[in-house]
Structure formats: C-alpha cells, structure tokens
Structure 1
Amino acid sequence: MSEALLNLEAPLRLGAFVGILALMALWELASPQRRHEIPRLIRWSNNLAMVAIDTLVVRLVFPVLAVGLASLGMQNGWGLSHLFDWPYWLIAVIAFVLLDLAIYLQHVLFHAVPALWRLHRMHHADLEFDVTTGVRFHPLEILLSMLIKFAVIVAIGAPPEAVLLFEVVLSATSLFNHGNIRLPAPVDRVLRWFIVTPDMHRVHHSVIPEETNSNYGFNLPWWDRLLGTYRAAPKGGQRGMTIGLERFRTRRDLWLDKLLLQPFRGDRD
C-alpha cells in the first residue's frame, strides 16, 4: 500500500493543485468579492513563479517527502501511534487533526518570532488577496515548514494515507480560503464552522496588526475559536479593508526578485 501511495502522491497532488487553481480562478472571475486594482499578469506571474521555485528547492533539498517519511516511520515503528492498539482508521483521523493543529501553531509562531516573521511576511505583503496569494511563500519558509512537518509526522507516527490526505486537503483549502470569491453570508456563516472560508481568512491579511494576528487556521477553523484568535470580520468590512502590510506597497515589490530578497531587507530598504 505504501509503495502505491508513493507512486500516487505526485500526480494526485499536482492534479488537485492545477484543478482547484483553475476552478478558483474561474470562480473569482464569475463572482469576485473585491475589485482588482493591480493587473493579474503582474501578480499571477510572480506568485506562480514562486511556486515553481519552492517546488524545485524542496525536491533538491529533501531526498524524501512527507508521505515517504510516513512510510518509513510505519515500517520502523516510529512515533506515538505505535504505542496504542487502536484501529488504523482512528489513528489516521487523529493524525490528520494533530497535523492540522501543528500547522496552526506553526503559523502563530511565524507571526510571534521576529526572525520567522521576516520569512513569513512575504506572504502577507501581497497587495491583493486571491487564489495565488495562497501559494506565495518564501522558499526558506517552505523548507523550515517541511522540517517542522517532518518532525510532527515522526513524533505522531502518522500513517502515510493520513499524510497524503492531509497534504492534498491542505493545498486545496489554502487555494480555496485565499480565493477572491463572494459567498452568500448565510452559507459563509455555516461553512466557517467546518472549514476556513475566504471571508474568515481574509481578515488575517488585513493591514491592521490586530487583525493580521488573528484567524491563523488554513484548514480546520476550530483552533482559532478554541485558542482565542478568532475574529469574525475586519473593521473596514470585506470590501473596504486594506490588504497587505504598511511596508512593501509598491508594484515593484510584487516582482520575483524583490520577493526573494524581502526577508533580508531592512526597515529603510
């Protein structure tokens, strides 16, 4: 089963990514929540180029990825899950939930620690909020995130099936909750009890620091509510709020070279 999963991982993840990216792009055209002020060509070309760089860097640095590591752990009896005689499906569900909690806590950490924020702020410096914002992360942040995820997978003893499902779902929900789409208010109100919605996550991309430091969830919305970081709506409203950071507000800051150098830029750069 593990070997089959390893063979399935790359095409499944790529197919889900491309399909959901295309679907969200069409949805944004059909029913946008906010007007675009910056040409999509500028933002999309640079944001998607960052995805290509991130993917290449990860492949070059890590000889094995998350599902492969989980398979090794399963073969060698690594992790806490091997201490309990529980049904396999239950261990998989618990692993999925714990992985999501770890991503939430990591996100909080990347906001709280100044050195980590310098890596993460590139994601927040996008001047608009749409599906490509959900894939705009600095390669150094991606590498560090992978190391944290690997540590959690090994510590939990996560089944490879749970890890593969988590990887696909996390990628899909990141594209979804960064979408510039309009959901009817009643639908959004119900949906955000089960998944992070675009209106919920958009608050996190507000220029107001109190709003930036809220709604950290990417997938499951419960952690924000349970741990006191939930904010229902931005002060300026979904269409009136300002996206981004006080710094890095020129269109030149949206280009790939500026994005790659951003963690190393000082306050006067």
Structure 2
Amino acid sequence: MDTFIEYWANIPPAHRVLILMGGMVLFWLLEGYYPLFRFSFKRYKHAGVNLVFLATTLVLNLIFGAFTILVCDWVYDYQIGLMNWFDFSIWVDIIAGLLLMDLFGQYIPHWLMHHVKFMWKFHMVHHSDTKVDVTTGTRHHPGEWLFREASTIIGIVVIGAPVWLYFLYRGLSAMFTHFNHANIRVPRWLDRPISWIFVSPNMHKVHHHYMRPQTDSNYSNIFSVWDRLFGTFRYDDVASLKYGLDVLDERTDEDLGYQFKIPFDKNIRTDY
C-alpha cells in the first residue's frame, strides 16, 4: 500500500496524460464497435471541437493547478481536515476520501451550475452537444473549470486530502468521465447493477436529455450514492433520449465561436 500511495503522490505528468488520453482512445474505439446511437456526423470534426475545450482545460491546469497542489501540502503540513483529525485505516481514507472528493469535486459544483443562472450559462456549453460521445466529457467552457476547481479546493480543506488522494481522484474521475459519456451500448441487465454504486453510462446519458426533469438529475461522476442520497437519481430508457438543449439551435453545437460566447450572450435563454 505504501508503494501505491507513493506512486500517486509522485505520479509523472506523462502518466497523467496517458490516463486521460488512453481512456479516451479506448472508449473511442469501443464506440465504433458497440455504439448506443448511430449518429450521422463526422466523428473527427466533432471530436476536434470538443478537444479544443480539452486544450483550454489543460492550459488552465498548467497555470492554476499548482495552487491546488499547494493547498494539499498546506492541509497536510498544518494537519487540517477530517483525514488529519481522525486516525482512520488507509482503506477508509481511500474509500471515504474518494466519496467526498466526488461530492465536492463533482456533485456540488455540478448541482450549482444547474441552479445558479450565471453558472448555468457556462455549463450550457457541455449540454449543447447533440451527439454525446467520449469526447463530450472534455467539453467544458474554461469558466466552468474555475467553478469546479474552486469547489474541489474547498473539499480538499474539509477532507484534509493529501496530494496522493487528489491525483488518485483525478485519475479515477477521468476514467469515469470517459466511461459515462462514451456512446457505447451497455445492456440494461449490466448497466442497472453498476448504477447501484457507480455512475453508469445509461444513468449519465439521462442527464444529457434536452429537457427537464432529466437534465436536472444524476450530477455525480463516480459514485451514484450522492444522487440517491439527495434525491436526484433518475434512471430512464435511453432509447427515448434526445441530446442537446431546446433553447439552443442544434446546428450551433460545432460552432466554436458561438459556443465560447454562450455565457456572455444575453439573448440566450437560461430556462430549458
């Protein structure tokens, strides 16, 4: 276990990129063989648009990510947070730590972005994709990254998360993001049991339906427990879903200029 923790505490940047891009390539290939929906679109053009947003996220991580690591070191040095106040076993630290990181890093900011109008305008870019696939998981406006990372930092302080837990969470979160957004066909008999504990592909696809109440459900990324606990869990037939937002022209989903300006366009309705 010491070796495991040591690895995540000092994970090389190349390994972090490999986790991010390797998982995306894996599910990209699986989509070609076992697609949930057969979209009529140019896969490479669609991926190119979404990967531009990934590039902005990577740049922000390079510029501001070091601050998050400093916060991890700070809570460890000054013994702040739950993991430093209570002497749990390492397994409790890992499981409870990942659960709480999913709460602060995903569920809370995600819920807020659906209920605070100015935050929703940034998150609309993610929901505007009418052809949800593995690359959609990387489609986030730069402003959205700031919301999520701010909430994650608050979580680090509350949890007392060391840097190894932060990087472990980031790696696991990236894999689940690819898994949940991938346009893969998962049989209900397999997907439903997965959703009892984890966020499954069919469960998350419900969140990408273009209308409420489905859009305002299933906010978690790794564990479905938070949606079940807070009453936001929903499981519907994926065959009935339609992606996108009814307040946007679906023809604009691959117009990068339009997408980057969505948060600042006062003519775009914030209800859906």
How far residue 6 of structure 1 moved from its aligned partner, in angstroms, is 5.2
> Could you say which residue in structure 1 is the equivalent of 2:137?
134
How far apart in 2 are the matches of 1:142 and 1:69?
17
Q: Give, in angstroms, the shift of residue 191 of structure 1.
A: 1.4
3-state SS, counterpart of residue 223 of structure 1: helix
Superposed counterparts of 1:42-81, under 5 Å: 42-66=45-69, 68-81=70-83
Q: How many residues align structurally?
A: 265
Conserved? CA contact 2:9–2:167, under 8 Å: no
After TM superposition, the structure 1 = structure 2 runs for residues 173-192 of structure 1, keeping only pairs within 5 Å, are 173-192=176-195
Over residues 39-87 of structure 1, what are the superposed CA-to-partner deviations in whole Å (9 max), with x where a residue is unaligned?
2133110100110111112322344344x53233212322233222333
User: Are residues 197 and 88 of structure 1, via their aligned partners in 2, closer, same or farther at CA, if it must alter by over 3 Å?
Assistant: closer
Identity of aligned residues (%): 31
Are the equivalent residues in 1 in contact too, given 2:81–2:160 (CA < 8 A)? yes
Query: Structure 1 pair 268/165, CA: closer, same or farther in 2 (3 Å)?
Result: closer
3-state SS of paired residue (1:93): helix
User: What residue is the counterpart of 1:238 in the other structure?
Assistant: 238
Contact 2:101 2:155 in 1 (8 A): yes
- Go from structure 1 to structure 2 and tell me whether the alpha carbon gap of 1:3 and 1:241 turns closer, same or farther (over 3 Å shift): closer
What is the match of residue 124 of structure 1? 127
CA contact (8 A) 1:99 1:153 kept: yes
Aligned to 2:93: 91
* TM-score (norm. length: structure 2): 0.90
Q: Distance in 1 between matches of 2:29 and 2:66?
A: 36
RMSD: 2.1
User: 5 Å matches for 1:195-206?
Assistant: 195-206=198-209
For residues 163 and 32 of structure 1, what CA distance do their matches in structure 2 show?
Answer: 32
Q: Alpha-carbon deviation of 1:5?
A: 4.3
Q: 1:194 to 1:183 in 2, by over 3 A?
A: same
The residue identity in structure 2 corresponding to 1:98 is: L
Letter in 2 for 1:111: H
| 2:31 equivalent among 28, 33, 47 | 28
Partner of 2:258: 258
- CA apart distance, 1:89: 3.8
SS in 1 for 2:214: helix
Change in Cα spacing, 1:256 to 1:3, as seen in structure 2 (3 Å) is: farther
TM-score normalized with structure 1 length:
0.90
Q: 1:3 to 1:89 in 2, by over 3 A?
A: closer
**Residues 92 and 158 in structure 1, CA contact (< 8 A), matched pair in contact too:** no
CA-CA distance at 1:268 after TM superposition: 5.5
Q: Quick one: distance in 1 between partners of 2:268 and 2:158?
A: 42
Q: 1:268 to 1:87 in 2, by over 3 A?
A: closer
Q: Whole-Å Cα distance in 2 between the matches of residues 53 and 204 of structure 1?
A: 24
Provide structure 2 residue ranges, at least 5 long, that are not aligned to the other structure: none
Tell me which of 165, 178, 185 is aligned to 1:162: 165
